[in-house]
Amino acid sequence: MRHNETKEEKSSLTPIENNETYQLKTLDINTVRDLWSKTYNANGKPDWSHLYPYYHPDIVFQDSIQRIEGIKEFVALCERLTERCENLQMEILSISQDSNIILMDWIMTMSFKKYPNTPVYGSTKLTLHYDGRIIEQRDYFDLWGDIFNGIPFFKKSYRKFMRRVFG
C-alpha cells in the first residue's frame, strides 16, 4: 500500500457470480481472522463461499499435496474437501502481516469416515495482489506425521522410524 493510500482506497470492487459488484473489506490480520472464523461452522462442514471474492481469479494455491491454479480449480478443491470431511475445524493460533504478506499458524482438526479426529498443525502464507485480493496461498503442514500421530498402533513405530532415519 502506498504511504498516502488509505485502507478505504485500497479496498476493491469485486465481481461475483451474477456479475454484480460489492465492496470488499481490506484484507489485513483482523479481516482474515474474522473471515476465516466464519468458514468453519457449528455443524462442522466448512463453507468458503464468503471467502471466494477475496481470491484473485489467477490464484495459485499450493500445499503438501497439490498445486492449483485459477479460482475455478480452487473452488473445486474446497468443495472436494468439504465433501470428504465429516467435520473440519480450524483454530488460528497466531497471525501477522508485513506489507502484502499475511502469515498465520493454525490447528485444523479433520474427521473422516471411520477415522478418529486428526489435528493437523500448519501455517499459511497469503500473498496479496496489488488490488487487495489473495493471489497466492501456500499452506505448510506435515500431513503424514500429524495423521500417523492419530493412529495408536502406528504412531510409535512411525516416530521410531523417523528418529532413526532423520535424527
Stronger pLDDT, 4 or 43, i.e. the higher one: 43
Q: Is 44 left (phi over 0), alpha (psi -120 to 50) or beta?
A: left
Number of domains in the chain: 1
- Boundaries of domain holding 31: 7-166
pLDDT tens per residue across span 139-148: 999 877 777 7
Let me know if residue 1 belongs to a domain: no
Threshold 0.85, pTM exceeds? no
The residue with greater pLDDT, 72 or 18, is 72
2 in any annotated domain: no
- The confidence score (pLDDT) of residue 20 equals 46
Q: pLDDT for 54-85, tens place per residue?
A: 999 999 999 988 999 999 999 999 988 888 77
Residue 21 clears pLDDT 70, i.e. is over it: no
